[in-house]
Amino acid sequence: MPRSEHTSLPITTGLRRVLVGVFIVFLFLVLFLPRQSQEWLGQVGGPLGIILEGPLQVVASIQDSLEETWSHYIALQHVWEENQNLKLEIQNLQGEQNRLREQAIVGRDFQRLSIYQETAPMTTLAAQIIGRNVSNWYRAIVIDKGARDGIRAEMGVITDAGVVGRVVRVNSMTSVVLLLSDPNIAITGMIQASRDEGIIQGTPQGNIRMKYLPPLSPVQIGDAIVTSGLTDDFPRGLHIGQIQQVTKAATDLFQSGEVTPIVDFSKLEGVLVITSFQPPISVESPPSPETLAAP
């Protein structure tokens, strides 16, 4: 009798292990393959299928929701990456558009200077402004033309609108130009209407004055001022600006006036350096034999 009880124990333990294994497999099928489990139970039928059909439907619905959520997450990841790429592409296009717009603006300025060069009664060299210095010490610009381009100190600098300043320092590839608003530069000017002459000079505050006007000059506010052509830097008749205010104290021998320059120095992109008062030599084609033979 004791021996019989001793042999029945391993059988019970082995059966328990088998049942546990079957339950684990069944649980795996239910949790990870609910759709397949539903189909299998539907084919088997019976009370077990009816009992487990409800839970399997719940598990299958949960699995479908998880799969759909995961699919949406993957799709959103792709959308996010596409959005990042599109943003980068838009930034590149905006940068390119801004670069082209800037080139167009500079191109229009130089086209205007080029047209003026063709009609101006003097020889000029176009230059681009590559630096500015506006301080309490001096007001100047730096241009991209120098000694190797034929630039020399004391050459006048203009735009198609009027006078800008004078070259004061020349390097091999660049030059420094003092603006009319600098107190270290002075040029001769003339009231266009009355033909009275004076000296145009900047002030430490960055303004421009016309000094030493004759005491009886009928100068008025709004009178145009042009270069007199009496010095070697500018030919006669280039626009300088307009009289903004006229002053003459009782003890002064001369009149003076505040001048509004015709050129906005803060918005310059390019300038023309006067290399000669003579117009450029135009290269014309030789006359044809028919023209020479004509009476």
Q: Is residue 252 part of a domain?
A: yes
| 283 belongs to a structural domain | no
Q: At 280, list the tokens.
A: 């450029």
Distance between CA atoms of residues 90 and 101, nearest Å: 16
User: Does residue 21 sit within a domain?
Assistant: no
CA 168 from centroid of its chain's CA atoms = 30
> pLDDT-derived band of residue 231, with 50, 70 and 90 as boundaries?
confident
- Can you give the length of the chain in residues? 295
- Are residues 270 and 234 part of one domain? yes
Residue 21 pLDDT exceeds 80: no
| Higher pLDDT, residue 152 or 284 | 152
For 235, residues 6+ apart whose C-beta sits below 8 A from its C-beta are: 121, 122, 227, 229, 274, 277
Pick the range with the lowest mean pLDDT from 29-33, 100-104, 178-182.
29-33
Do 163 and 189 reside in the same domain of the chain?
yes
Query: Which tokens hold the place of 54?
Result: 């409800």
Residue 89 shares a structural domain with residue 213? no
The answer, yes or no, to whether residue 195 has pLDDT greater than 80, is yes
Of 10-19, 90-99, 108-117, 123-132, the range with the lowest mean pLDDT is 10-19
Q: What is the pLDDT of residue 74?
A: 76
Residue 248, Cβ density class (10 Å: 0-12 exposed, 13-18 middle, ≥19 buried):
middle
249 located within any domain? yes
- Segment of 67-76, 88-97, 196-205 carrying the highest mean pLDDT: 196-205
The most confident of the ranges 62-66, 119-123, 218-222, 251-255 is 218-222
Pick the more confident residue, 248 or 54: 248
- How far apart (Å, rounded) are the C-alpha atoms in residues 247 and 257? 6
What's the pLDDT at 292? Answer: 44
The contacts of residue 295 (CB under 8 Å, 6+ apart) are none
In-domain check, residue 40 = yes
Residues 192 and 261 in one domain: yes
Domain for residue 287, yes or no?
A: no
User: In this structure, are 165 and 93 located in the same domain?
Assistant: no
Of 73, 103, 119, which residue is a domain's last?
119
Distance CA 275, CA 74 (A): 69
Looking at the structure, do residues 145 and 263 belong to the same domain, yes or no?
yes
* Residue 114 domain-assigned (yes or no): yes
Q: In percent, how much of the chain has pLDDT > 70?
A: 71
Smallest CA-to-CA distance from 163 within 264, 231, 279, 243 is with 264
Residue 169 contacts residue 153 (beta carbons within 8 Å): yes
Over residues 86-114, the mean pLDDT reads 79
Q: What is the pLDDT of residue 295?
A: 47
3-class secondary structure, 156: strand
Question: 231 and 172 in one domain?
Answer: yes
pLDDT of residue 37: 53
pLDDT in tens, 236-281: 999 999 999 998 877 788 999 999 999 999 889 899 999 998 877 6
Task: Looking at the structure, tell me whether residues 188 and 54 fall in a common domain.
Answer: no
Q: What's the average model confidence in pLDDT over 149-174? A: 95
Backbone angles phi, psi at 99, to 5 degrees: -65, -45
Per DSSP, the three-state class of 3 is helix
Q: How far apart are CA 101 and CA 109, in angstroms?
A: 13
Question: Do 261 and 136 fall into the same domain?
Answer: yes
| pLDDT at residue number 160 | 93
The DSSP H or E segment spanning 93 is helix 46-119
Total structural domains in the chain? 2
Residues 151 and 176 in one domain: yes
Which structural domain, as residue segments, surrounds residue 240? 123-276
Residue-averaged pLDDT of the chain: 79
Task: Average the pLDDT over 189-211 and give the result.
Answer: 93
Q: What secondary structure letter does DSSP report for 266?
A: G
pTM of the model: 0.63
| Tens-digit pLDDT profile for residues 121-147 | 899 999 999 998 867 678 999 999 999
**By the 8 A CB rule, do 122 and 277 touch?**
yes
pLDDT over 60 (residue 293): no
Residue in the block written with tokens 């080139």: 103
Question: Final residue of a domain: which of 98, 119, 140?
Answer: 119
Identify whether residues 163 and 252 lie together within a single domain. Answer: yes
Pair (214, 114) in one structural domain: no
* Domain-located, residue 271: yes
% the chain with pLDDT above 90: 42
**91 vs 127: which has the higher pLDDT:** 127
- At 198, which CATH number? 2.40.10.340
